């Protein structure tokens, strides 16, 4: 699919990239082309200044010395060639320029020299490939971003077959490049001459990660587009034998909806199951009071039983309050351009950021959110349900109809603790009341089912929150002690910052149980500062 000439050039010069752990092999520099390819400026000067060799003539294959120096990223050699007759826009037999060759290996310094000396950033070869297409084909994300930001390269231009850089990045399976192109508003709906969208091309190769980025950043419309053969991306993935990807796309078609309801304080969020859970708790409390605490047919309530019983009711009220708080509270949405009436910044968010020394940017392109158009902190994540990026994203909980993140995790944890205590105390009080309410000689279970069905119903339905709340309490407490989120644990293999130099799992944010817990209790969240020098 990619230009064969570029692939041949890339492989023919692979020996010039020596392994630093191996002794360098002697190379034969016999003309300006080999001198340029290996970056030997002194030999190049000898050929040009002493022997009078021209730098504007191609070799036997039609390639120029400038292309070889550009491919292997020797900016000083590139500058010398340009100053001594090299044409920055000279094309080989496939109409590729030196700038095309810099895109193969992401040679940014060499590209800068070319572009500053008049190279055409939109030069196209016989296939309609521009430098942006080549960069996307080889996953050179930083290079692609550089020529778009600094030199105004068009990142959504189609080639001769109607395929944009996004098509190529999706086909080759480069999720970071896909993310950058979407961040820069590349169209997911563009169809090539075969009617294929970028998602179709991801489906052809079964590139799950690239396809996932496309699905989460897109709408249901892209999932339903058919190519000229009548296939949707899901059908195409199934036809090519990529069953897991086909299943993912099929599920996305079913759940990629946006049922919204007005929030009490304004805005819109997915309704989820919060009304069901709220009603469930209220109904259980009513049954507990009527069938357990004030049931006239049971034995008289003692002072101790009454104390624990009404304690359970009080805790249930507290749980409902915390339920409302964690459901309605901002979980840590990261501010987007245009929020609160702000105007979108005219300056490119990636223009002046220091990729090597920034408190937010870590060199990880997954920090770009193509939907919110922001550079997000490392531990944040875009929630496809809420359509927002959430700081210290833990998980999206449909039962509270909200995400759990930096600003509401403490409320959520208190809620599950109160739910566990309420349901546990309620179960204990119910068992005690039922046990003492059975007359001598009667079968316990049969008597309660016949004479006190409300108590039996409560005990059965109270078992579910006991198990769920206890499980959540234990898991959340464990994560709080280690300062790690549910999302990070579930996806630790995907996050580079959770791996040490040896590739093994390490949590750089673990400051020890005592500090993690104290920060969480006082602030509501633990800090994102890296625990140097020891990683836990």
We report the CATH number of the domain holding residue 98 as 1.25.40.20
Q: Answer whether residue 465 is part of any domain.
A: no
For residues 74 and 185, membership in a common domain is answered with: no
For residues 150 and 166, membership in a common domain is answered with: no
Higher per-residue confidence, 351 vs 173: 173
pLDDT of residue 246: 93
For residues 422 and 315, membership in a common domain is answered with: yes
For residues 284 and 313, membership in a common domain is answered with: yes
For residues 93 and 136, membership in a common domain is answered with: yes
pLDDT of residue 186: 94
For residues 441 and 413, membership in a common domain is answered with: yes
**Position 406 pLDDT exceeds 80:** yes
- Among 123, 154, 185, the domain boundary falls at 154
Higher per-residue confidence, 25 vs 93: 93
Q: What is the 3-state secondary structure (H, E, C) of 506-533?
A: CCCCCCCHHHHHHHHHHHCCCCCCCCCC
For residues 127 and 192, membership in a common domain is answered with: no
Q: Answer whether residue 375 is part of any domain.
A: yes
Average pLDDT, the chain: 85
For 289, what's the count of Cα atoms within 13 Å in the CB-facing half-sphere? 11
Give me the domain span that covers residue 371: 333-339+355-391
Q: Distance between CA 484 and CA 462 in Å, rounded?
A: 30
| Count of beta carbons in the 10 Å neighbourhood of residue 188 | 22
Mean pLDDT of 232-256: 89
For residues 102 and 190, membership in a common domain is answered with: no
Q: Answer whether residue 139 is part of any domain.
A: yes
For residues 170 and 147, membership in a common domain is answered with: no
For 29, what's the count of Cα atoms within 13 Å in the CB-facing half-sphere? 18
Which one is catalytic: 155, 196, 386, 397? Answer: 397
478 Cβ neighbours under 8 A, 6+ residues apart: none
Strands (DSSP E) found in 410-491: none
pLDDT of residue 376: 87
For residues 48 and 71, membership in a common domain is answered with: yes
pLDDT of residue 266: 41
Q: Answer whether residue 422 is part of any domain.
A: yes
How does pLDDT run across 27-54, given as a tens digit for each residue?
678 899 999 999 999 999 999 999 899 9
User: Tokens 């950043």 correspond to what residue?
Assistant: 217
**Position 10 pLDDT exceeds 60:** no
For residues 6 and 64, membership in a common domain is answered with: yes
pLDDT of residue 534: 42
130: left (phi over 0), alpha (psi -120 to 50) or beta: beta
Q: Answer whether residue 225 is part of any domain.
A: yes
Helix (H, G, I), strand (E, B), or coil: what is residue 356? coil
For residues 49 and 134, membership in a common domain is answered with: yes
Lowest mean pLDDT, pick from 108-117, 181-190, 431-440, 480-489? 431-440
- Among 154, 173, 191, the domain boundary falls at 154
Q: Answer whether residue 285 is part of any domain.
A: yes
pLDDT of residue 349: 57
State the total domains in the chain.
4
Respond yes or no: is residue 397 known to be catalytic.
yes
> Element (H or E) spanning 369, and its range?
strand 368-369
Q: Answer whether residue 240 is part of any domain.
A: yes
- pLDDT tier, 342 (very low <50, low <70, confident <90, very high otherwise): low
How does pLDDT run across 281-315, given as a tens digit for each residue?
999 999 999 888 887 777 777 888 889 999 999 99
Q: Distance between CA 275 and CA 268 in Å, rounded?
A: 15
Helix (H, G, I), strand (E, B), or coil: what is residue 472? helix
CA distances from 103 to 11, 203, 451 (A): 14, 25, 80
- Among 127, 154, 181, the domain boundary falls at 154
pLDDT of residue 456: 81
How does pLDDT run across 44-88, given as a tens digit for each residue?
999 999 989 999 999 999 999 999 999 999 999 999 999 999 999
């Amino acid at each position: 699919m990619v230009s064969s000439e570029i692939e041949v050039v890339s492989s023919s010069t692979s020996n010039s990239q020596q392994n630093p752990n191996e002794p360098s092999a002697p190379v034969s520099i016999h003309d300006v082309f080999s001198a340029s390819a290996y970056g030997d400026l002194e030999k190049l000067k000898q050929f040009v200044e002493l022997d009078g060799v021209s730098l504007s003539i191609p070799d036997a294959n039609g390639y120029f010395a400038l292309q070889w120096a550009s491919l292997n990223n020797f900016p000083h050699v590139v500058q010398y060639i340009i100053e001594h007759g090299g044409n920055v826009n000279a094309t080989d037999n496939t109409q590729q320029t030196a700038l095309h060759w810099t895109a193969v290996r992401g040679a940014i310094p060499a590209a800068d020299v070319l572009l500053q000396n008049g190279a055409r950033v939109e030069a196209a070869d016989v296939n309609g490939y521009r430098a942006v297409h080549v960069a996307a084909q080889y996953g050179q994300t930083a290079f692609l971003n550089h020529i778009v930001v600094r030199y105004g390269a068009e990142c959504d231009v189609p080639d001769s077959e109607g395929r944009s850089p996004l098509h190529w990045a999706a086909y080759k399976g480069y999720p970071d490049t896909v993310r950058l192109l979407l961040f820069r508003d590349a169209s997911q709906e563009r169809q090539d001459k075969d009617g294929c969208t970028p998602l179709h091309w991801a489906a052809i190769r079964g590139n799950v990660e690239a396809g996932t980025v496309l699905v989460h950043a897109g709408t249901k419309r892209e999932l339903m587009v058919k190519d000229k053969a009548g296939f949707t991306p899901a059908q195409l993935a199934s036809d090519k034998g990529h069953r897991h990807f086909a299943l993912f796309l099929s599920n996305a078609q079913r759940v990629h909806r946006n049922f919204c309801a007005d929030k009490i304080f304004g805005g819109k969020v997915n309704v989820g199951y919060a009304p069901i859970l709220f009603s469930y708790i209220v109904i259980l409390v009513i049954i507990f009071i009527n069938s357990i605490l004030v049931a006239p047919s049971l034995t008289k309530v003692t002072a101790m039983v009454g104390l624990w019983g009404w304690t359970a009711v009080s805790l249930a009220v507290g749980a409902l309050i915390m339920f409302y708080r964690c459901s309605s509270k901002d979980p840590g949405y990261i501010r987007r351009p245009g929020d609160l009436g702000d105007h979108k910044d005219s300056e490119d968010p990636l223009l002046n950021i220091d990729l090597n020394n920034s408190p937010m940017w870590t060199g990880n392109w997954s920090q770009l959110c193509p939907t919110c158009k922001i550079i997000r902190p490392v531990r944040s994540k875009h929630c496809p349900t809420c359509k927002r990026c959430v700081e210290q994203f833990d998980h999206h909980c449909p039962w509270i109809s909200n995400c759990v993140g930096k600003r509401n995790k403490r409320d959520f944890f208190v809620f599950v603790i109160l739910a566990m205590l309420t349901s546990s105390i309620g179960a204990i009080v119910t068992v005690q009341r039922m046990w003492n309410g059975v007359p001598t000689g009667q079968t316990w279970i049969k008597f309660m089912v016949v004479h006190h069905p409300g108590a039996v119903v409560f005990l059965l339905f109270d078992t579910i929150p006991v198990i769920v709340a206890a499980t959540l309490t234990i898991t959340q407490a464990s994560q709080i002690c280690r300062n790690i989120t549910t999302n990070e644990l579930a996806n630790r293999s995907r996050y580079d910052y959770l791996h040490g130099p040896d590739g093994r799992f390490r949590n750089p944010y673990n400051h020890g149980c005592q500090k993690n817990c104290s920060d969480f209790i006082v602030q509501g969240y633990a800090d994102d500062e890296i625990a140097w020098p020891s990683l836990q």
